[in-house]
Amino acid sequence: MTGYHVAIVGATGAVGHELLKILAERNFPVERLTLLASERSEGKTIQWQGREYQVHQTTEHSFAGVDIALFAGGSAALTYGPPAVKAGAVVIDNSSNFRYDPQVPLVVPEVNPEDVRWHKGIIANPNCSTIQMVVALKPLHDAAKIKKIIVSTYQAVSGAGLPGLRELQTQTEQICRGEQVTPSAFPYQIAFNVIPNIDVLLDNGYYKEEMKMVWETRKMFHDEDIKVSATAVRVPVYRSHSEAITIETERPLSPEQAREILSAAENVVVVDDPANKKYPMPLYCSDTDQVYVGRIRKDLVFDNGLSLWVVADQIRKGAATNAVQIAELLVRENMLGANRG
C-alpha cells in the first residue's frame, strides 16, 4: 500500500489548516485527500502540495473509501463520526466529544501508544494543556511514580480560535490609542490582563478546562489514584501555552536525575539554564512540535517534590501534530486501510 485516503473535517478552520501543514511536513502517506467543512464553506478551494482541492459540505455519505478521518474540533464528530466509522474509516477527533468515553482511547503517542490497539473506530485527541503536561511528566512518572500534580496554566488566546487572536490584537491597538475596549471573545479585557476563567464553571469550583487535566491525566496514565489540581489562566500571548507544574513522587527524584530522564525522552527538549536566563518561552517555542521543559528544581513543600516549567505550541503538539502522530502510529501498527481491499 503506497498511501491512504485521508479526510479532514473542518478543513477551513485554524486546526484544519494546521493539519494540512503537518501532513505535508511529516510526509504522511496521503494517496487521496478529501476536504470537508460546513455548508457555508462548500465550493471553497485550498492549495495543498501543489494541487487545488475543493471543499465539500460534510454529510453522512462523505466517507466512502476513507481510511482515516481527522476531525479538527467542534461537535462535527458527534454527528459524522459514527457514519465515518461505519464506512470503514478510523476517526481521530480533536474535540472533547469522546475523551471520557471508556470505550474510546485517549492517546498521546509519547505517553500511551498501546491504547490505540483497542480502539473501536474512534480515537480521541486530548486537551491541549493536558497533552504538553503528560509528555513532560510521563517519563518522570515511569521513573518515580507521580502521586500528586499541581499545575497552573498560562494559555494563549489562540486557544480560543481566531476570535481570540483578533480580540487581543484589536484591544492592544485600542488601548494604545486611548480608546475604550469591549470584550467579546473573553469575559473581560484580555489585553494587558489575565483571566482565570476557561470553559464553564463546575459545581466543585473548578472550571471545566481545569478538570479536563484531572480526568485525562488519570485516563492516559491508567491511574485513578493520581491527584491533580489545576488552575487555568488565559494570558495575552498569541500562541503556545505555558505551565508551572509541581509534582510529588513516590520515590525520590533529584533535579539532576529529572534533567537526565527528560533529555532522553521522546519529543522533549530541556532548556534549563536559569543562571544564564535560558528557559522555555512561547516566543521561541511556537511553530514547533516539541515540548520544552526548564526551571527544574527541588520543590520546597513536598519531600519528594519537583517543580518545572513547560511550554509547547498548543495548535501543533496540542492539537494537529498529536492527531497526525496518532495516524502515524496507526500506520506503524498496520491498523489502517481495512476498506481498501
CATH topology of domain 130-314: Dihydrodipicolinate Reductase; domain 2 (3.30.360)
Q: Give the C-alpha separation, 264 to 259, whole Å.
A: 9
Q: Give the C-alpha separation, 24 to 162, whole Å.
A: 23
Catalytic residue, candidates 119, 141, 241, 285: 241
Residues of the chain with pLDDT under 50: 339-341
- pLDDT score of 1: 55
Phi-psi region of 322 (alpha: psi -120 to 50; beta: other; left: phi over 0): alpha
- pLDDT score of 162: 87
- pLDDT score of 336: 86
Q: Give the C-alpha separation, 116 to 210, whole Å.
A: 25
Catalytic residue, candidates 128, 141, 176, 285: 128
Say which amino acid occupies 35. L
pLDDT tens for residues 29-53? Answer: 999 999 999 999 999 999 999 999 9
Domain extents in the chain? 4-126+319-332, 130-314
Question: Cβ neighbours of residue 117 under 8 Å, at least 6 residues apart?
Answer: 333, 335
- pLDDT score of 338: 56
Q: Give the C-alpha separation, 171 to 179, whole Å.
A: 9
pLDDT tens for residues 50-96? Answer: 999 999 999 999 999 999 999 998 999 999 999 999 999 999 999 99
Annotated active-site residue 176? The verdict is: no
pLDDT tens for residues 303-329? Answer: 999 999 999 999 999 999 999 999 999
Q: Which CATH number fits domain 4-126+319-332: 3.40.50.970, 3.30.43.10, 3.40.50.720, 3.40.50.2300?
A: 3.40.50.720
Q: Give the C-alpha separation, 289 to 56, whole Å.
A: 29
Annotated active-site residue 241? The verdict is: yes
- pLDDT score of 157: 97
